[in-house]
Structure 1
Amino acid sequence: MSEISRLWTETKAGVRRIWVGQEAQKFKRLTIGQNLNDGLVAKAIIIMMLSSIAYLYLQPLLYMVTTMIKPLADLIDPTIKWIPRSVDWSNLKKAWFGLEYPEAFRNTLVIALFCSVFQVGVCAITGYALARLRFYGKNVAFFLVLLTFLVPPQITIIPLYTIYAQLGWLNTPFVFLIPALFGQGLRSALFIIIFRQFFSTLPKALEEAAKVDGATGFYLFARIMLPLARPAALVVFLFSFIWYWNMHYEPTMFLNNDFTPLSIKLQNLETVLLGRNFEGLITTQNPITEGTKMAGAFMIILPPLLVYMVAQRWFVESIDRTGLVE
């Protein structure tokens, strides 16, 4: 009986060790994971890192939104930072009138939309030529494109101002539309490089098959190559639209009150607020204009945010396909 008891005890101890070992392995897989990023610990670390990065990016936007809805008492109260005691929508109303939002929005939309469309078309043609065609001086032309990307705009601003003044384009949208139409718009060199990179990845068999079927050069580009370049076109359009929408330096040099975009209106918003009365909102009695300025900034960035939210999925896929992440 003693031998049987000993064997039974050893068997139970062995079973317990096996069970403990299995449970330890399960706990290890649950916390650490089979691979480095599979377990709960790794996932918690990743979530904490992503949350911290998201907070860094979203903090200015959150501050803007909370500030624009604060009444005067909350703005001057140092104990209130994020959540106001009450919501005041008068800042949005004052920003609407101070920015002259409908007119300024129209001016900005004309510049951003048409320049972006022009840049997509012209930069696509130029990028296709640099990627697929063979002609004398091709490398020199690409070097000049890179050179225009490296030269700061402050160096060329005075010659451009003189040329636009002689042509009578100052204070008109032509100072942005015409250069964009001829491939000299805002950051056109970068967009040409994007299209060149994309067209270089397409197989040559497409062109050879189209030429066998009798396709000419422009037909080949317009009906075969350009539809395949939709990812690159979407990236270029969104980048161009955002940059034209937010540009500030160039409008201050070429435009005045006759044709003023939202960026210039925001710059002059505080001066306007301190000297005008918008439907009973007497701002001279309230010299603290931070809430109104935040409301104006939010109204300016809202349209690009909506555009990005609508096109986000296609935008991310397009960046992946154009090779911008490399």
Structure 2
Amino acid sequence: MTVQIPVVRRGRARRPGDSTPLSALLTTVIALGAVVMLAPFAWLIVAATHNTSEIFSTPPALLPGSRFWTNLTGLFTNLELGAAFKNSMIVSLVYTVFGIVVCSTAGYAFAKFRFRGRDAMFTVIVASLALPGQVTLVPLFQIMVQLGWLNSYQALILPNLALPFGIFLMRQTMQSVPDELIQAARVDGAGEFRTFFQIVLPTMRPALAALAIFLFLGQWNDFVYPLIVQRTPDAYTLPVALATLHGVQATDYGQLLTGTLVSALPVLVLFLFLQRYFVAGLLAGSVKQ
């Protein structure tokens, strides 16, 4: 009597790099989403090279034209583009640097120090995130008038240095810094400032990069508040200066879109330099040690 042993055939083990229908579907969806997100920016680049009639022609122009330098020259002629770009760059850079210092020191205090009213103060800061910025426009304008700060850089920089979101992000991130590391620095004789700037901050580069992007982007694109406190064209920031291109009867959309493209370039360059830190910075405080 012969006993036959069934042979079990095993398929090839799936490797990590092998594609599955689900992964292929997700890749397709992500690619389509990227195309949808990049399409307006691509159209902005194309439209900046045409004049108004070509932009609104039927069918629309889908290829770059030859009007970019004409539009760019017209911007310098019709408005003080150089001064507006300088104002926006100075305000955004100074605000970003000092905003990082203020938000990180406040987050360090809320995360690593115990004092009376700490939790109540932090609750108020978090609750202020739900407060619309338009609510504070009139009080801020009155304060700027009383201080004589209209048409000045400090009117744009100082009021929002203690950004509630920045303090919240820094506090959540600094909670992941081991207390033993800070205690060891104190035992070695390091003061609080040295401990903060030489021990704590170097471990938080991803979070600082993410905060820098938020601060710079928010200040660079701010329109309503600079429109209120900057009263003369030589003090306008870039968004306010570009808004003056809207005429009552006609608007040169070629120049307007060229200016919009110019205003988007610094933010794009900043993000490209800091993108590897951006996601890591947002997730830095998600795991508490």
Same fold, TM exceeding 0.5? yes
Return the offset for 1:64. Answer: 0.8
Higher helix share: 1
Return the offset for 1:42. Answer: 3.5
Measured against aligned partners, the alpha-carbon deviations of 1:146-181 in whole angstroms (never above 9, x if no partner) come to: 233221111111111111101101121111222245
Q: Are positions 1:305 and 2:280 aligned together?
A: no
For residue 229 of structure 1, give the secondary structure of its aligned residue in structure 2: helix
Alignment of 1:178-197 (within 5 A): 178-180=158-160, 183=162, 188-197=163-172
Who is 2:242 aligned against?
A: 266
**Percent identity of the aligned residues?**
28
Q: What TM-score results when the alignment is normalised by the length of structure 1? A: 0.77
Given that residues 71 and 87 in structure 1 are in contact (C-alpha distance below 8 angstroms), is that contact kept between their aligned partners in structure 2? no
- Give 5+ residue unaligned stretches, structure 1: 1-17, 275-286
Structure 2 CA distance, aligned partners of 1:315 and 1:99? 35
Structure 1 CA distance, aligned partners of 2:182 and 2:15? 48
Selected match of 1:88 from 51, 67, 86: 67
Using CA pairs under 8 Å that are at least 6 residues apart, name the structure with larger relative contact order, 1 or 2. Answer: 2
**Relative to structure 2, which stretch is displaced further, 205-214 or 39-48?**
39-48
CA pair 73-137 structure 1, distance change in 2 beyond 3 A: closer
Who is 2:46 aligned against?
A: 66
Structure 2 CA distance, aligned partners of 1:268 and 1:226? 42
- Give 5+ residue unaligned stretches, structure 2: 1-7
Who is 1:212 aligned against?
A: 187
Return the offset for 1:125. Answer: 0.7
When Rg is computed on C-alpha atoms for both structures, the one with the higher figure is 1
Alignment of 1:161-172 (within 5 A): 161-172=141-152
Q: What TM-score results when the alignment is normalised by the length of structure 2? A: 0.86
CA pair 72-155 structure 1, distance change in 2 beyond 3 A: closer
Given that residues 107 and 261 in structure 1 are in contact (C-alpha distance below 8 angstroms), is that contact kept between their aligned partners in structure 2? yes
Given that residues 242 and 304 in structure 1 are in contact (C-alpha distance below 8 angstroms), is that contact kept between their aligned partners in structure 2? yes
Given that residues 119 and 240 in structure 1 are in contact (C-alpha distance below 8 angstroms), is that contact kept between their aligned partners in structure 2? yes
Letter in 1 for 2:247: T
Measured against aligned partners, the alpha-carbon deviations of 1:30-75 in whole angstroms (never above 9, x if no partner) come to: xxx678x942533432232112111221111111111111256633
Root-mean-square deviation (Å): 2.6
Structure 1 CA distance, aligned partners of 2:283 and 2:122? 24
For residue 179 of structure 1, give the secondary structure of its aligned residue in structure 2: coil
For residue 247 of structure 2, give the secondary structure of its aligned residue in structure 1: helix
